[in-house]
């Protein structure tokens, strides 16, 4: 059964937004399912190098164009907007080409493999009539939005410190290219750590990072999985060349400091953990559970919102997709601009460079 269409807005008098996909695999499934809920969006084309994936999309969307070459798709289909859902290494080139073709682009996180590519993408966006949006869904989470509002209203005062965690006890992906640095750019830091990092950075006002240091360790992923029972066994340990655990520290121009912990495999208590904490001179908070810690009426007080909207994964992802369409079609503000993606990419780059240099502090230049 087709998903229920979102009710059309009174202002929706223009033709539907024509959206095409570069990369039509697994992450595109979620994009498609959520975009199909809107009656102001038409899915017009797919480009992928995998013929089996293209056959699946051809069956699902008989009227859509099917292309093995995304450049042909851009020139022949001429979409209004493009979702780039490729492996990390293949984010930059299609994004730049789509922007040069005048398309709006939603690129999945991280925006690129490195700062060189990220800067090229931002430059292409500045010279295009299209908009570049980064797929940072976790900043749409109601918990993140609440803490950002507390920050904006001065509830934390000057933010001094943040702690970011994206940890799995034994969660090495046994599919895709997540263990290959040459294609992915890194391991848990660039794959799951980025989620916690981008929403924490957003919650404290997106300050400019100035330096970073990190240490990274590999001790499980490069060995066979049959030593310990785990939820995703049989990963490709022979090609695994990314970190199992990353520990980092980032300094910001406003004086704040943030530490980050991210792992695919670590000897921790819970099976997985995604969280961040904020400490300011007037108050602090945790994301999960969502609690603000402050002083009131001469007492230490913990504030918990009485109600928050649904923050399930698909709901938050829907907000991301709606945010993209509403921004490019109706000129609504975005909370995921390319400039934020550039800052997050700069932090990731600096952390990896520092680890390569034995943990030495590395300067960040945007």
For the chain, which residues make up each domain, given as ranges? Answer: 17-136, 139-309+338-363
What is the pLDDT, as a whole number, of residue 14?
86
The architecture CATH gives domain 17-136: 3-Layer(aba) Sandwich (3.40)
The verdict on whether omega for the bond into residue 110 sits within 30 degrees of 0, i.e. cis, is: yes
pTM: 0.93
pLDDT digits 0-9 by tens, 89-146: 999 999 999 999 999 999 999 999 999 999 999 999 999 999 999 999 999 999 999 9
Strand 283-286 versus strand 272-280 pairing type: antiparallel
**Dist. CA 15–CA 24, nearest whole Å:** 24
Q: Could you say which of 3.30.1330.10, 3.40.50.720, 3.20.20.30, 3.30.360.10 is the CATH number of the domain covering 139-309+338-363?
A: 3.30.360.10
What is the pLDDT, as a whole number, of residue 11?
52
What is the pLDDT, as a whole number, of residue 9?
52
- For residue 200, the SS3 value is helix
pLDDT digits 0-9 by tens, 319-339: 999 999 999 999 999 999 999
For the chain, list residues with pLDDT below 50.
1-8, 10
Instruction: Count H helices and E strands in the chain, helices first.
Output: 11, 15
**Dist. CA 186–CA 195, nearest whole Å:** 14
């Amino acid at each position: 059964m087709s998903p229920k269409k979102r009710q059309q807005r009174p202002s929706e008098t223009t033709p539907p937004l024509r959206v095409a996909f570069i990369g039509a695999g697994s992450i595109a499934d979620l994009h498609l399912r959520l975009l199909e809920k809107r009656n102001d969006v038409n899915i017009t084309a797919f480009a992928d190098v995998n013929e089996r994936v293209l056959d699946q999309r051809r069956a699902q969307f008989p009227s859509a164009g099917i292309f093995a070459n995304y450049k042909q798709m851009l020139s022949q289909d001429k979409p209004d907007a493009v979702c780039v859902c490729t492996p990390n290494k293949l984010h930059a080139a299609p994004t730049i080409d789509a922007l040069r073709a005048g398309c709006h682009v939603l690129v999945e996180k991280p925006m690129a493999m490195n700062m060189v590519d990220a800067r090229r993408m931002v430059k292409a966006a500045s010279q295009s009539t299209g908009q570049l949006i980064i797929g940072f869904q976790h900043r749409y989470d109601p918990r993140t939005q609440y803490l950002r509002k507390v920050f904006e209203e001065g509830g934390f005062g000057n933010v001094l410190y943040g702690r970011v965690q994206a940890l799995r006890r034994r969660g090495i992906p046994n599919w895709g290219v997540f263990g290959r640095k040459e294609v992915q750019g890194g391991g848990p830091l660039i794959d799951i750590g980025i989620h916690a990092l981008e929403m924490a950075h957003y919650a404290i006002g997106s300050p400019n990072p100035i330096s970073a240091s990190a240490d990274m360790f590999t001790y499980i992923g490069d060995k066979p999985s049959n030593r310990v029972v785990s939820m995703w066994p049989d990963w490709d340990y022979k090609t695994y060349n990314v970190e199992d655990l990353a520990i980092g520290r980032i300094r910001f121009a406003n004086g704040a400091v943030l530490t980050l912990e991210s792992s695919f495999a670590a000897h921790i208590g819970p099976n997985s953990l995604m969280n961040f904490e904020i400490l300011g001179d007037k108050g602090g908070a945790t994301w999960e559970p969502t609690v603000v810690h402050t002083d009131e009426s001469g007492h230490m007080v913990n504030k918990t919102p009485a109600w928050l909207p649904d923050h399930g994964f698909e709901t938050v992802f829907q907000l991301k997709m709606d945010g993209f369409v509403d921004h490019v079609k109706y000129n609504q503000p975005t909370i995921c601009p390319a400039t934020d993606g550039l800052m997050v990419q700069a932090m990731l780059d600096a952390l990896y460079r520092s680890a390569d240099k034995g943990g030495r502090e590395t300067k960040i230049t945007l």
